[in-house]
Amino acid sequence: MRVQRSPFFYWFVLPSATLAIVFAAAMIALLQYSLRQHIPGSLVVGGFTLDNFARMAKWVYARVFVDTLLLSFYTALLNLLLGYPLAYALIRSRSAWLKGVIFIATIAPLFTGDIVRTYSWIIVLGNNGFVNVVLKELGIITTSLQMLYTPFGVVVALVQYSMPVMVIILAAAISHIDVDYEKAAASLGANPLKVFVNVTLPLSLPGILSGFITIFAWTLSAFATPQLVGGGKVNMIANMVYNVGFSNFDFPFAAVLSLTALGLTMGLLTLLRLSVRRFEHVGLH
């Protein structure tokens, strides 16, 4: 490899190299802790052991992983169903006004932060919250529906939480589809529904796949939503890590759980890379 002689070479590489080393050190510290013995009631860790990993097999812990995978799956699926029409309209609508509304409504939540977004759902879903109050005043129900602290409530909040990312991914995919294909199909007599099902949808498949897996992986690490909307009744991996770390002070086991979550995420993203590559060969380009 050619070594650059630019007078600024080191000035440009040193800051990022330093940061990368600090970050790598943190990840190595995490890895190291996962192999240490936990001494109950103490923050000091003991010698090296593999016991922490063996504990993962217990159903109390494994169950949270299963629940998390299920919740993430539903979240990704619903996201796809609700996000596609939005992304499609965002790119293809002729009304600049509608585009603007969709853009602000979907993208803005991405920047308002976890707590604000989660807290809003507490007010909407709570026993004295918006949905219950409105339904009662309309005379549809007499006793409050329990939505807070249920898997249903958590999924409702999680879907809205990850919608911006889904729409960004789908919109990018749809914007890359050449409108001429759709026009060609229509001019050959296909009705709009047929054009959509046979042309637009297959061509946006890489985006669909990428959106689904990204949201799935993203939701695996959700923390604020299950913590507050789930209220201890619906636990996901991140909540378990937090509890194990800050209630039991068992940081070695928290490290094991974190690394397992990281492994899951990495596995999913590898799957994503492989499958998107496969679909790109199917495309028309």
Partner 1 sequence: MRRATRRRLWRLSAGAVLGAILLYLTIPSLVVIMAAFNDKAILSFPPQNPSLRWFVKAYNYDDFRKGFYNGLLVTGWASAIALAVGTTFAYAIDRFSFRGKATLETILLSPLVIPHFTVGLAFLILAAQLNVTRTFSLVVVTHVVLVLPFVLRCVYVSLKNIDTALERAAVSLGAPPLAVLLRIDLPLLAPGLAGGWLFAAILSFNEFTASLFVTGQRTQTLPVAMYTYIREYADPSLAAISAVFIVATAMILVLADRFLGLKRLLAIEAGR
Sites for partner 1 among residues 108-147 (CB under 8 A): 108-109, 111-117, 119-124, 128-130, 133-134, 137
The beta strands (E) that lie in the chain are given as 36-38, 45-48
Would you count residue 256 as binding partner 1 (CB under 8 A)? no
Distances (CA, A) of 11 to 17, 24, 257: 10, 21, 38
Under rule CB under 8 A, how many of the chain's residues touch partner 1? 89
SS3 letters for 9-27?
HHHHHHHHHHHHHHHHHHH
Instruction: Give the count of beta carbons closer than 10 Å to the beta carbon of residue 80.
Output: 18
220-259 CB burial, b ≥16 within 10 A, e <16 = bbbebbbbbbbeeebbbbbbbbebbbeeeebbbbbbbbbb
Q: Which C-beta is closer to partner 1: that of 73 or that of 223?
A: 223
- Residue 142 has a CB neighbour count (10 Å cut-off) of 7
Residues 215-254 that bind partner 1 (CB under 8 A): 217, 220-221, 223-224, 228, 237-238, 241-242, 245, 251, 254
Cα of 121 vs its chain's centroid, Å: 17
Residues in 11-70 that interact with partner 1 by CB under 8 A: 11-13, 15-17, 19-20, 22-27, 29-30, 33, 43
Under the binding rule (CB under 8 A), the answer on residue 195 touching partner 1 is no
CB nearer to partner 1: give 23 or 282.
Answer: 23
- Which residue, 112 or 248, is less far from partner 1 as judged by CB? 112
**C-alpha distances in Å from residue 212, one per residue of 72, 181, 185, 218:** 10, 25, 27, 10
From candidates 37, 146, 175, 248, binder to partner 1 by CB under 8 A: 175
Taking CB under 8 A as the criterion, the residue among 35, 145, 269, 271 binding partner 1 is 269
Minimum distance of partner 1 from residue 25's CB (angstroms): 6
Out of 9, 37, 194, 280, name the contact with partner 1 by CB under 8 A. 9
DSSP letter, residue 248:
S
- Which residues does 43 contact at the CB level (< 8 Å), separation at least 6? 249, 251
Q: Is 168 in the site for partner 1 (CB under 8 A)?
A: yes
Taking CB under 8 A as the binding criterion, the range among 69-77, 82-90, 179-187, 274-282 that sits at the site for partner 1 is 82-90
Residue 51 CA to residue 184 CA, distance in Å, equals: 63
Q: How far is CA 218 from CA 159, 183, 214, in A?
A: 11, 36, 6
Give the residue, chosen from 262, 271, 275, 276, that forms a contact with partner 1 under the rule CB under 8 A. 262
- Which C-beta is closer to partner 1: that of 101 or that of 276? 101
Cβ distance to partner 1 smaller for residue 54 or 179: 179
State which residue, 7 or 40, has the beta carbon closest to partner 1.
7
Nearest approach in angstroms of CB 194 to partner 1 is 13
Nearer to partner 1, 176 or 198 (CB): 176
- 86 to 105: interface string for partner 1, x by CB under 8 A: x--xx-------x--xxxxx
Residue 97 pairs in a beta bridge with none
